[in-house]
Structure 1
Amino acid sequence: MQKRVLITGGAGFLGSHLCERFLSEGYQVIAMDNLITGDLKNIEHLFKLKDFEFYHHDVTKYIHISGKLDYILHFASPASPIDYLKIPIQTLKVGAMGTHNCLGLAKAKGARILVASTSEVYGDPLVHPQTEEYWGNVNPVGPRGVYDEAKRYMESITMAYHTFHRVDTRIVRIFNTYGPRMRLNDGRALPAFIGQALRGEDLTVFGDGSQTRSFCYVDDLIEGIYRLLLSDYDLPMNIGNPSEISLLDFAREVLQLTGNDVKIVFKPLPADDPKQRQPDITKAMNILGWQPMVGRKEGLERTYAYFKSLPPEEWAKEPKEFVSVK
């Protein structure tokens, strides 16, 4: 019998790729999004498919889905600094109330639920690379705390539903991911660098650029998430690419790719910006048989080709204004 999956945040960067993956695997897919940071352009090509539905809904409010549900993937959340610094209350609410509502729905439907956590639960880590057993170094009252603590709470309530209500749960800790459908002006390093390059602007590096990130191509991430959902593993799992690079060297790679004759300029490091980020993916390799397959050079070329194919007015588009959330 055909299985049915609900993907919250389904019009977002990762959510839209998940919708495509599950449709390709023969599932009926319901995408849910309130479109605060998501965009219908990401999924408009799916509307013609008989197995796809879209619900315009805010998961922080009661969720009603008629009929059976086999799986829920909770990916609704602002996920970049420019988003959660503008809408901090909504970021906290979707991590807390939104997760609570999704877990309640999973309990009512007898569905397995996978929640999207993040490497940001590790904060500015004192352990490198980061293993799932590391508890993190997070400032709960700093500007990034609204996102970091929302995700930490998400993990806690998910495990509480798992142990107390016996809900079948999965937790994925997602490290820096990139690829087509990212927003050019969402504040993260890769789209920011490419957007600046496309506009002929100097590339902005914060601090001295020695801070590191580990970038995973979106197709690899989606494969890891899919395998984790269908596995028997119910504790948090890192999914990311352990190939680590400094942001200064990464900016140089983007310049080499684009061929732009612009400079790299430096600005002060934002508060609580993590100095290192690299996943230990031993668990994913041993339990899921998963590891990233797309190298950074190939992934960057694909991503740059996507952004370059957009109309030039998209290159200069400012981040959307957000509605006030009390």
Structure 2
Amino acid sequence: MGAKRQKNNPKREKNNQKKTKLLSNNIIATAVGLFSCIAGFYIVYFSNPHQNKVVTIEDIGGSYNITCSEDYKEHPIFTECTPIKTCGRFVRDNIVSDEEVEQLLALAKRGFAHGGSDGGASILDLHSGALSMGERFVNIYKFLENDALLETFRDEDFELYNDVKSRVHKTISEEFGIDPSKLYLTHPTFFSSITNTSAKTQHDEYWHKHIDKIQYGSFDYTSLLYLTSYKKDFEGGRFIFDDANSVIIEPKRGRLSFFTSGSENPHHVEKVTSGVRYAITISFTCDPKKSIKDPKIRT
């Protein structure tokens, strides 16, 4: 229900097939990039050695400063922004209210209701329109009729989404001492939904260790806003930094975690064993050429 229908016109159908093929290629490219961030799949997998010491981010006061990696020097350097001297990982629990989390969660659920991966790990990108559907991806802005789109996405939802993004941007800028005008939203930024359903494709394998800066040259700062809570809404699904201390972040409704994106912060997500883990990945770059605009409803 709600999917667009076209009249049976041979000439128009041929032209639409060409457009659909091009659109499909663009969505697949976008979605593969998105799942690289969720799943950590990027040509090779890193090993995950046993760690003897495990501490949560709360154990170290919600922040953890570390030495920056050399990854950033392989890309254009922006002296007022690129993390060369100051790197770390942080957690903040006061960025969004409970009511705002509920609104964002409801937005995500309405979007995912039109699709969802067969393999347990789904994405919804409000910027590109990419939505997991079975073992493929569609552009939700093209897939749904206008009425269905307006029922799924409301202006106030997009206003909140953009406002929360701005708060996250401000928080990262302040913690890392960056001029806010030098830090830009980048691709991919998206909602994720993870269940314990067995993976069907490589895109569903979100649990592999990875490094964001290596996967995406544009990434300089990564953030995640959790919309559901560990042990309350799901089991498993903790965020683990794979360093000597194996620092763990336990997802919590409204909790924001953010960190520099280089090899100083390798990480993975535990397999979800029950329930549904919802989150928003919001990524930032220092390169204005790789910035993206705030999303808006396309009808």
TM-score > 0.5, shorter chain as reference: no
Structure showing the higher helix proportion among its residues:
1
**Larger RCO of the pair (alpha carbons < 8 Å, separation 6+):** 2
Q: Give the TM-score range, shorter chain.
A: under 0.3
TM-score (norm 1): 0.23
Higher strand share: 2
Give the TM-score of the pair, scaled to structure 2.
0.25
